[in-house]
Structure 1
Amino acid sequence: MLPSSRRVRAALLVTAAACVLAAAPSPPAPAGIGDPLFPTLGNPGYDVLAYDIGFTYQGDNSKPLEAVTTLDARATGWLDRINLDFARGTVHGVEVNGKKAEFASAEEDLVITPRHPVYPGEELRITVRHTSDPRGAEDGGWVRTTDGLVMANQADAAHRVFPCNDHPSDKAMFTFRVDAPKEYTVVANGLETGRTWAGGRAVSTYRTEHPMATELAQVSIGRSAVVRREGPHGLPVRDVVPAADRHQLERWLRKTPAEIAWMEKLVGPYPFETYGVLIAGADTGFELETQTLSLFERSLFARTGFPEWYVDSVMVHELAHHWFGDSVSPRAWSDLWLNEGHATWYEALYAQEHGKRPLETRMREAYRQSDAWRAAGGPPAAPKPPAPGQKISIFRPVVYDGSALVLFALRQEIGEARFGELERRWVSDHKDGTATTADFVGLASEVAGRDLAGFLQGWLYGAKTPPMPGHTDWRSAAPGRA
């Protein structure tokens, strides 16, 4: 029960003050919500409702940006200190509900001491004036491109760009305000709500219409062209590409509306207010499903060695994430297989339908390697922690094809019609929220009309790959021989 009267609040504050006087304050320390893979990520005691983030870019992507981040939050517990995830920036000052607050750094946390303790249910506005440094971003955060900056915050790098509660379980609304020289194009998650010009500079404002996990935040600043077209049901589609490559890339960009329509036919309406492809002049080694604006390396489209069906299927992979991972986000990072397994599944289905790459052939090869993948990275729903200093090493083969294999086995077990119903129910029931592996098992059992926990236990948590329904002749090679 939340305190609701001034008398109760006053009593709580008196009690808190007495406790503070009775004990010496402990030094600032990092906190975390105990994620199995990233124990110090996220912070207990509050729920972020909205972020308002302002960046000032001077045209040099090797220098820190000045920034102001405001969080609107609600306390879920008693707080005499408030921890935010933040690193790679200098904090100039902090306010809590309009009043200056003390702050200190503790590892990758910004630890704030408000003037008065915060009681459960209290609404908070936390404003942090800071820099946001794009240098040394090999481990995520800002990515420097040939003409500016983009973001790549997965899995836990948003706090290297702005102070936040950097865990997908705490989704929030976002507003971005970016002040940049007028010759630069700025695009961010959501829809543009305003742009003003003054003295050779422009301030662009973007807002999301759906909650978003911090790892999915995106701001692109560059000498870019924005290509607009219409998707299914009037969906605004806007692609952001290097201006010099605009015509060369059109053969790929024009595919997006049909790809969205293909996904909608399988799983239901596209879940957000807009979509688009962001092609960056940077070598990242990956593509990324930032919400409403998927990030791709320019080289994916510029190289001549990739067959067309392959590039198409990669585009569909990131698009599929907007249902699986963005709209329905993982409650913990050990639920990552729900993101990547599903995106890989629809990537493979698209390659089968449009590239004549049989799904069963791909799944049989995945089955052959599955035991080795499990030995190296853990089973799909219980992955091993990341290697020291390599946080994105959780993105192993077992969470891609190894997890798509789980979905193939489930479809074999319950049939194509029920599997399709499960997929549509999953993204509908959990839209704009978070979900767990247990939630998926529970819904699969409901749709199938029988308890599937026993069947899925081995597929999700077993050290060895169970027999494939309908394919008892499939064999998995021993680890080290795959």
Structure 2
Amino acid sequence: MAAAVPVAVAALLATAGPAAAGPVHGGPAAHRATAGAPGAGDPYFPLAGNGGYHVSHYGLTLRYDPRTRHLDGTAVLTARATQALSRFDLDLKGLKVTAVTVDHAKAGYRRAGQELVVTPRTALRKGHDFRVTVTYSGTPEPATDPDGSADGWIPTDDGAFVAGEPQGAMTWFPANNHPLDKASYDFTLTVPRGDTAVANGVFLGSRTAGARTTFRWRQSEPMAAYLATATVGRFQVQQYTTRDGVKVYNAVDPREAKAAAPVLKQLPSVLEWESRLFGPYPFRAAGAIVDHAPGVGYALETQSRPLYDSAPDLATLVHESAHQWFGDSVSLTRWQDIWLNEGFATYAEWLWTEQHGGSSAQQEFDALYARPASDGLWAFAPGDPGSGANIFATPVYARGAMTLHELRKAVGDPAFFRVLRAWASAHRDGHGTTAQFIALAERISGRNLDGLFHTWLLTGGKPAAP
């Protein structure tokens, strides 16, 4: 189990030691306070995340009307200053901010693009635990990613499809919006009676008063902001507990129910199978949100409860479920390493097929390798996509999986599956990097793997025949 603030976060956010006294009220210490950085330092998304503090908890209270598409929100962030702070930023795109307080005192604020710049009444000491409350409202709109796709708060014909990777969290709540900064969450979501609002973690119950129903959710394990959801719609709900004690909550748009049913029925067996391969399931809750959102075009591994734009096939269910280990529990330190998410989840699909009477992982590999050198599969190195526009492109998924298959062949099945389990265990609730994964594989296998990873992960173009 990783520490509450993992080593990677401590290094980049300069996490303090013991908590110091409260705000700096004046004198020399106040003059040493500086502004937190407007980004977490990720070259692919320079303004994503923020410096100077770590958020430990988000309390999100939202009211949404799908008919008018109006959102009212109050976000309460519990955080710790990792430097003496004269001001700090939150990521928030659009929406009108009406009030900001820091430790219950009115704070100054201004907007600068996607940044909400907050100036506390008095500077904050390094190590000070503080609370930020932001009240806001408006009509949330999705973000447009470098590859042209939309994410964030995406309106549907009966509510909203809320999927945040990589930038979308900032379209519906103020956040430290980088995978480095993980936190626990509480959601209180109020929608018109008859609608359902689904978020992450354990369902705590609902209450109807007049024309509105309020749903409460709790995600206790640390979660990156992009994995949060508050999807709203007309859903059929199914709840049960697995043999391992995991609470399952499925929400399915009635238009997708018939097609989704046979696939969702296999969710417990998929989670059990992945638990045998990767180690214990990392969360208290599981399930699926199956919306009817034909314009979206993708699914997302929203933590504990993947989100599908339509009824998924079994391969997609296996893929998004595998992300609960690889991407959600073990999160990225930088977006360049996204193959650690997508390559692993794709290889999980290959393993499922191999172990359930279908084609072998070697056959999947061979079919891909047969593609000519001009094919987009070989366009760039999956371990360094080059920009945010490429992080969801074919090499990250397919060639990332091919890298894992080459590793499996090189070290043998016993060592390979020990590597996968050790990776999920050592970095649970935390973060990982490509360099750390390579070091782990070398330690467990006792082999020098520099050449393998250089060829398959870190070099563009089609490698010579393996």
Q: How far apart are residue 458 of structure 1 and its match?
A: 2.9
Amino acid at match of 1:36: P
Match of 2:337 among 319, 322, 335: 335
Q: Does 1:436 align with 2:433?
A: yes
How many angstroms apart in 2 are the aligned matches of 1:278 and 1:4?
40
Please list every run of 5 or more consecutive structure 1 residues that lacks an aligned counterpart in the other structure: 302-310, 388-392, 473-482
Alpha-carbon distance between aligned partners in 1 of 2:406 and 2:71, rounded to the nearest angstrom: 49
Matched to 2:409, the amino acid is Q
Q: Does 1:181 align with 2:192?
A: yes
Q: Percent identity?
A: 35
Residue of structure 2 equivalent to 1:480 = none
1:103 to 90, 100, 109: 109
Q: Deviations over 1:48-99 (max 9, x none)?
A: 1000011112342x52301001110001012111101110211111001101
Aligned to 2:151: 140
The 1:269–1:453 alpha-carbon spacing in structure 2 relative to 1, beyond 3 Å, is same
User: 2:351 touches 2:361 (CA, 8 Å); kept in 1?
Assistant: yes
**Partners of 2:190 and 2:237 in 1: CA distance:** 18
- Please say if 1:350 is aligned against 2:347: no
* Deviation per residue, 1:164-193 (Å, 9 max, x gap): 000001100011111122211122101122
Whole-Å separation in 2 of the counterparts to 1:109 and 1:102: 14
- Kindly state the Cα deviation for residue 31 of structure 1 after the two structures are TM-superposed: 1.3
- The structure whose Rg is larger is 1
**What residue in structure 1 maps to residue 408 of structure 2?**
411
1:136, CA displacement in angstroms? 5.2
How many angstroms apart in 1 are the aligned matches of 2:222 and 2:60? 15
In the alignment, the residues of structure 1 paired with residue 255 and residue 463 of structure 2 have an alpha-carbon distance, to the nearest angstrom, of 51
Q: 1:234, CA displacement in angstroms? A: 3.0
Aligned to 2:224: 213
**TM-score scaled by structure 1?**
0.86
Q: Which is worse superposed, 157-166 or 361-370?
A: 361-370
Partner of 1:158: 169
2:269 to 243, 258, 262: 258
Per the alignment, residue 281 of structure 1 pairs with 292
Which stretches in structure 2 are left out of the alignment for 5+ residues?
1-15, 145-149
1:455 to 452, 456, 459: 452
- Alpha-carbon distance in 2 for matches of 1:155, 1:214: 9
More helix as a share of residues: 1
Matches within 5 A, 1:282-431: 282-283=293-294, 284-298=296-310, 300-301=311-312, 311-354=313-356, 356-369=358-371, 372=374, 378-387=380-389, 393-431=390-428
Q: Aligned residue for 1:271?
A: 282
SS of residue in 1 equivalent to 2:76:
strand
Equivalent of 1:52 in 59, 67, 71: 59
Question: For this pair of structures, how many residues does the alignment match?
Answer: 445
For the residue of structure 2 that corresponds to 1:72, the secondary structure is: strand
Q: What does 1:13-52 correspond to in 2, within 5 Å?
A: 13-17=26-30, 31-52=38-59
Amino acid in the other structure paired with 2:51: P
- The answer to whether the aligner puts 1:119 opposite 2:119 as a matched pair is no
Instruction: Provide, for residues 414-433 of structure 1, a one-character-per-residue CA deviation record: whole Å limited to 9, x for no partner.
Output: 11110010001110111111
Question: 373-382 vs 402-411, which deviates more?
Answer: 373-382
Give, as a single letter, the amino acid of the residue that structure 2 aligns with 1:190: G
> 2:194 corresponds to which letter in structure 1?
E
Q: Which amino acid in structure 1 is aligned with residue 326 of structure 2?
A: F
Distance verdict in 2 for CA 1:417–1:80, change over 3 Å: same
Higher relative contact order, chain-length normalized (CA < 8 Å, sep 6+):
2
Q: Do 1:373 and 1:398's aligned partners in 2 also have CA atoms closer than 8 Å?
A: no
State the 1:199 CA deviation: 2.4
Q: Please say if residues 132 and 162 of structure 1, whose CA atoms lie closer than 8 Å, have aligned partners that are also in contact.
A: no
2:79 corresponds to: 73
Q: SS at 1:174's partner residue? A: strand
Q: Distance in 2 between matches of 1:270 and 1:375?
A: 32
1:195 aligns with 2:201: no
The superposition leaves residues 335-383 of structure 1 with CA deviations (integer Å, 9 ceiling, x where unpaired) of: 1000000000011221233362332222123334485568875311111
**Aligned pair in 2 of structure 1 residues 19, 230: CA closer, same or farther (>3 Å)?**
closer
Q: Which amino acid aligns with 2:356?
A: H
The residue number in structure 2 matching 1:475 is: none
Residues 367 and 402 of structure 1 are in contact (CA less than 8 Å); yes or no, is this contact kept in structure 2?
Answer: no
The C-alpha deviation readout for 1:419-466, integer Å capped at 9, x for no partner, is 010001110111111111111011111101233234323322123454
TM-score w.r.t. length of structure 2 = 0.89
Please tell me whether the aligned partners of residues 331 and 430 of structure 2 are also in contact (alpha carbons under 8 angstroms): yes
For residue 420 of structure 2, give the secondary structure of its aligned residue in structure 1. helix
State the distance in 1 between where 2:39 and 2:143 align: 23
Q: Distance in 2 between matches of 1:461 and 1:179?
A: 47
Cα RMSD (Å) of the superposition? 2.5
Look up the equivalent residue of 1:176 and give its one-letter code: F
Partner of 1:239: 250
C-alpha separation in 2, matches of 1:268 and 1:98: 43
How far is the alpha carbon of 1:195 from its aligned partner?
2.6
Q: Which one-letter code corresponds to 2:270 in the other structure?
A: E
Relative to structure 1, the CA distance from residue 9 to residue 320 in structure 2 (aligned partners, 3 Å threshold; closer, same or farther) is closer
- How far did 1:133 drift? 2.7
2:168 aligned partner, one-letter code: A
**C-alpha displacement of 1:33:** 1.8
Over 3 Å counting, the alpha-carbon distance change for 1:47 and 1:346 in structure 2 is same
Q: 1:371 to 1:118 in 2, by over 3 A?
A: farther
